Structure 1
Amino acid sequence: MITNPFHEYENEFAFDNVYGHSLELLKRNVDRSPPSDTTIHLDVGCGYGSIAEQVSFQLGRTYVGVDANNRSLASLNSRGFETHRFLLTNEEEENADFLRSVIGDRTVGSITLLDTLEHLTNSGAILSALYEIAKTHNSLVVVSVPNMLHRDIGFKLALGRLNYTESGLLDHTHVRMFDEKLLTDTLRHSGLHIIDRKDVRMNHSDQFFPPEHPVLQDATMLRSFFKNIRGKVDDQDLVNQIVVACLPGEKIKKLPFVTERETSRPFLTIVTRTQGNRIHCLTEYFTCLAAQTCRDFEVIIVGHKLSIEQQIAVERIIEDLPIWLREKTRLIRVYKGNRTHPLNVGFENAHGRYIAIQDDDDIPLGNWVEEFEKISKKHDGCLLRCVSVLQTVKTVTIGRRVGIRAISSFQKIFPSSFDFIDHLKQNQSPNNTLAFPRGVFHELNMRFDEELTTTEDWDYILRVAAVVGVGSNPVVTGIYQWFDLTNSKSEHAEHEWRVNHLRIEQKLDTGPLLMPSGSLRRILRLIDERDSLKHGIAAHPSLSFDHDITRQNVREIYAIMNSTSWKVTKPLRMSQRLLGRGAGLKFTDCLNFSSEQLEEAIRQLRNSTSWRLTRTLRRIGQILKGGQQKVS
């Protein structure tokens, strides 16, 4: 409908371009007309009528083209097709009246509006006119528009480059830009509802220039990182042209553009999975939520494969809550998937700015929500982390009532701050210490990996932290209850944990990884420690390859002194030295030890207070790496 002095839109039909895909939608959704039928196909904004011959031959319909370009209409006329010249206006009735005059007493079987909407200042005027025609004749309507969200446009725009061209995705004559959502909403507002689609996908669009731009060069880390993030958001990153088939229906009143930039949300959504087996724990959990110093939260209980009795028990607990808390609580039932699926369901339904996970057997202290809110003011948009203490508990029955009994004191085994590099080795942040920013799930589509049967939380923590970073708060805000597993069997085989770990490592290792500030110093320190160990061993003949036992002992001492257990108990050893209880063992001293001295050093390390106090931490680490998981 637009005359472009720099480009004539004389594009050929091909089965894998917008014309071929439009024809495929027509063939999939309408019947071929018999030879004597007078059913017409109305092509509005037809241009040179690239689909004319195919519609006539494959659908058996009379092709009628409408456009304002005399040259393109002349081409169609010379090929024997009916044409009508008309410049679409901003008035719905004027457009509809003209089209009715073209149709006359004939039946409109199908309509196409290909690569035309983006040229119109008032797309609603022509869509509403087409809606009236389609509703009268029960016609299929096929619409296509260029996709403004092709990654070639987005990648360049993110780095400060925008190129309008003589034609293509950013044709300089375009007055509107569409993506999938805007097109869908615009069509629905006009009463046209999508029933089928066949988009045109291109790895490299016409916007794939200049070739020397690093974000467009396939081998660069920059492009790899952008592709990794963008490719997970949706499936539209490679769509060059959106091609959809619609039928007339109810007009949706909601406007197709944003009218409210801000949505009122609670600060936090708390997602809690339950199988209804720990009703006594769930009661205690809600008691803790009722005592929160900050009430700016909502609760989603995801009941996973609940029986009727379990569902009633959970609903009864919710019904007994204080009114203010009951009004903030929803129960969502899920009957499929593994233990990871309920997390995705809970996150999907979350309204909060942040989303936290609380197991139904954990204890949030009264400051739990408040401390997250405090961190968010300084680290808005980051993954938020506080600290939990661990307490070993067991299930007991007293007077026919089931409850939980603590069988240990509180143990602060988790680090006070989040270290990304340490987390690459093992998870040091229980679920109840974290609050995830809403945007990573709802905007970046970063979901829990449901193919993982264990360690799904560790995987998600690493992926989120690598994109948005972490804001830490050393304040203790929860109790991580660890059930006594003396007589419990593992729910998952050791090889299953190993396979899941390898999958996580593979995912993180397939593309560039963002590291938080300070990581360089950590990496250099680790390299220095490694080099010191290598040089120390090389400088001592007694530690040569011929002395495997001696070498193994040195490695064991190094592993102990470089472990998380040893690091978190450093303040304890410092206080002991201040009290004059020994100078402490240094790793460099061990390089001069005999085999007997090395064995004695290992014995002392393993019998030390630092090592004994962190036995539970190592036990959890072993379980997370390949043993058992938290069960009651």
Structure 2
Amino acid sequence: MPRVSVVVRTKDRPAFLRRALADIATQTFTDWEIVVVNDGGDGAAVRTVAGESPCAGRVRAIDAPAPGGRCAAANAGIRSARGEYIVLHDDDDRWAPGFLEQTVDWLDHHPDDVGVMVSTAIVYEERRGEQWVEVGQTPFWEGMSRLSLIELLEVNRAVPISFLYRRSLHDLAGWYDESLQAVEDWDFYLRVAAKFSVGFLAGEPLAFWTQRPSARGADGNSMFALAELHEQDDLVVRERALREWVDANGPGLPLYIALVEKRLRREFAHELSSQLERQRHDIVQEIYDRHPLWRRLRKLGGRSNGRRASGRS
């Protein structure tokens, strides 16, 4: 049995799949298998790419059950996996060569951790001719040194390419929620972080999450192509958790928090309105002070007042 199962989700992106398989083949740790999950795309093309890759012989290609979807594809790949450790490697992401070596070593020496995450970089890509090429990098949550439940409650701070975990974790925390069309990884991390210890490898990035903001269709990132679904399912996860809390504890605390937020929003709106009014007044005054015609009128007004004062004297 391989120690690590790498689950690769793909759909009608043979160029990305070819690149992902070549990326996995460069790992310094070699006790792995790859399960490629065809999520409703051209299955023959997926099998052709797998058979021609440097990993041929260590790749199994399967089809996600209809109607498919990101979560169903992930679960199908994991159920088919044979390894002790699991990692999702989407077809457009990549690793540093030492990713598996360092993460496997961490879990081997930290038996209380259910998984380990690594520092990650966002890689921006643009289309040049027939290829997508890297045009820049930036840290993903620079300075992050652990998986924090408090921070996860605000926004997702992890991506699948950065997380190696024990296959047994699904027996403890459940599977990816197939009722969600997006944010399935965030929902899973919330369940994990609430109950279990997760290690973290800080320092130089070992995982690279690629983004193509301009891409649509098959080449698009879910981050951008499924932006509306991300917002929709983010709300679904939050409302579901709130209902569970209210069912167990009653609505008292959520109602109090909502009242405090309402008052803070009202005070903020009032303060913002006052600041805007002061700024408007200052801008108008500055325009009057600087405008040549206004300065001339003030000067003429000063002379006229001077003549009146002279006449009276």
TM-score by length of 1: 0.37
In the other structure, the counterpart of 1:423 is: 152
Partner of 2:3: 267
- Measure, in 2, the Cα distance between the counterparts of 1:551 and 1:363: 50
Residue 431 of structure 1 aligns with an amino acid whose one-letter code is P
2:62 is the counterpart of 1:355 = no
Q: CA deviation at 1:377?
A: 3.0
Change (3 A) 1:503 1:428: same
Between the aligned partners of 2:23 and 2:172, the Cα distance in structure 1 is: 32
Asked if structure 1 preserves the Cα contact closer than 8 Å seen for 2:65 and 2:73, the reply is no
CA distance in 1, matches of 2:162, 2:49: 24
The 3 A distance-change label for structure 1 pair 550 and 450 is same
For 1:328, give the aligned amino acid: R
2:231 aligned with 1:503: no
Task: Give, in whole Å, the separation in 2 of the partners of 1:468 and 1:358.
Answer: 23
Compute the displacement of 1:413 (Å): 2.7
Quote the offset at 1:326 in angstroms: 2.5
Q: Shift in Å at residue 379 of structure 1?
A: 3.0
Hey, what's the Cα distance between the residues in 1 that align with 2:267 and 2:180? 42
Establish whether residue 289 from structure 1 lines up as the match of residue 21 from structure 2.
Answer: no
**Contact 1:285–1:361 under 8 Å retained in 2:** yes
Give 3-state SS (helix, strand or coil) of 1:435's partner.
strand
CA distance in 2, matches of 1:335, 1:545: 50
SS at 1:411 equivalent: strand
Deviation digits for residues 386-438 of structure 1 (CA, Å, limit 9, x no counterpart): 122111102333xxxx3221222x21132343222111111111111012321
Q: 1:316 to 1:549 in 2, by over 3 A?
A: same
Larger Rg: 1
Deviations 1:294-352, CA, capped at 9 Å, x for gaps:
01221100011123xxx333222222234xx3232110112513221111101111111
Structure 1 vs Structure 2: percent identity of aligned residues?
22
Cα distance, 1:316–1:468 mapped onto 2, change above 3 Å: same
Change (3 A) 1:445 1:419: closer
The aligned counterpart of 1:390 is: 122
Q: Is the 8 Å Cα contact of residues 5 and 85 (structure 2) preserved in structure 1?
A: yes
Q: In 2 relative to 1, CA 499–327 (structure 1 residues): closer, same or farther, beyond 3 Å?
A: same
- Whole-angstrom distance in 2 between the partners of 1:440 and 1:453: 22
State the distance in 1 between where 2:108 and 2:198 align.
Answer: 13
Residue identity in the other structure for 1:428: R
Does the residue aligned with 1:284 lie in a helix, a strand or coil? helix
Deviation readout 1:45-77 (Å, 9 max, x if unpaired): xxxxxxxxxxxxxxxxxxxxxxxxxxxxxxxxx
* 1:303–1:331 CA contact under 8 A, matched in 2: yes
Instruction: Measure the CA separation in 2 of the matches of 1:319 and 1:347.
Output: 21
Aligned-residue RMSD, C-alpha: 3.1
2:217 is aligned with 1:485:
no
User: Paired residue for 1:340, among 61, 71, 91?
Assistant: 71
Q: Which has the higher contact order (CA 8 A, sep 6+)?
A: 2
Structure 2 Cα separation of the partners of residues 416 and 551 of structure 1: 41
Distance 2:237 2:25 in 1: 37
How has the CA–CA distance of structure 1 residues 471 and 293 changed in structure 2, closer, same or farther, with 3 Å as cutoff? same
State the 1:499 CA deviation.
Answer: 3.5
C-alpha deviation, 1:286, in angstroms: 1.5
Once the two structures are TM-superposed, the CA of residue 484 in structure 1 deviates from its matched residue by 2.8
Find the partner of 1:433 among 162, 165, 170.
162
- Structure 1: distance between partners of 2:269 and 2:95: 54
Which residue is equivalent to 1:548?
A: 271
Letter in 2 for 1:363: R
* Alpha carbons 1:306, 1:335 under 8 Å: kept: no
Post-superposition offset of 1:468: 2.1
Aligned twin of 1:411? 138
Secondary structure at the aligned position of 2:28 is classed as coil
Residue 469 in 1 paired to residue 197 in 2?
yes
- The 5-angstrom pairing of residues 29-428 of structure 1 reads 265-277=1-13, 279-307=14-42, 311-322=43-54, 325-336=55-66, 337-380=68-111, 381-397=113-129, 402-408=130-136, 410-414=137-141, 415-428=144-157
Q: How does 1:524-539 map to 2 (within 5 A)?
A: none
Please name the residue that 1:172 is paired with. Answer: none
| 1:266–1:362 distance in 2 versus 1, CA, 3 Å | same
Decide whether the 8 Å contact of 2:51 with 2:57 is kept in 1: no
Q: Which amino acid aligns with 2:58?
A: K
Contact (CA 8 Å) 2:216, 2:225: kept in 1 or not? no
How many angstroms apart in 1 are the aligned matches of 2:69 and 2:267? 50
- The answer to whether the 8 Å contact 2:20/2:91 transfers is yes
TM-score, normalised with respect to structure 2: 0.71
Equivalent in 169, 181, 184 of residue 453 of structure 1: 181
Q: Structure 1: where are the runs of 5+ without partners?
A: 1-264, 513-529, 538-542, 554-593, 597-632
DSSP-derived class of the 1:423 partner:
helix
Do the aligned partners of 1:383 and 1:464 also contact (CA within 8 Å) in 2?
A: no
Going from structure 1 to structure 2, the CA distance change for 1:378 and 1:421 (only over 3 Å counts) comes to farther
CA shift for structure 1 position 464: 1.9
Give the letter for the 1:500 counterpart: D
Distance 1:383 1:295 in 2: 19
Residue 80 of structure 2 aligns with an amino acid whose one-letter code is: N
The separation in 2 between residues aligned to 1:393 and 1:430, in whole angstroms, is 18
Aligned amino acid, residue 126 of structure 2? K
Instruction: Look up the equivalent residue of 1:453 and give its one-letter code.
Output: Q
Tell me, in whole angstroms, the C-alpha distance in 2 between the residues paired with 1:391 and 1:313: 26
1:21 equivalent in structure 2: none
8 A Cα contact 1:292 1:366, kept in partner: yes
How many residues are paired up?
253
Letter in 2 for 1:333: D
Q: CA deviation at 1:551?
A: 8.0
Gap regions ≥5 residues in structure 2: 247-259, 280-313
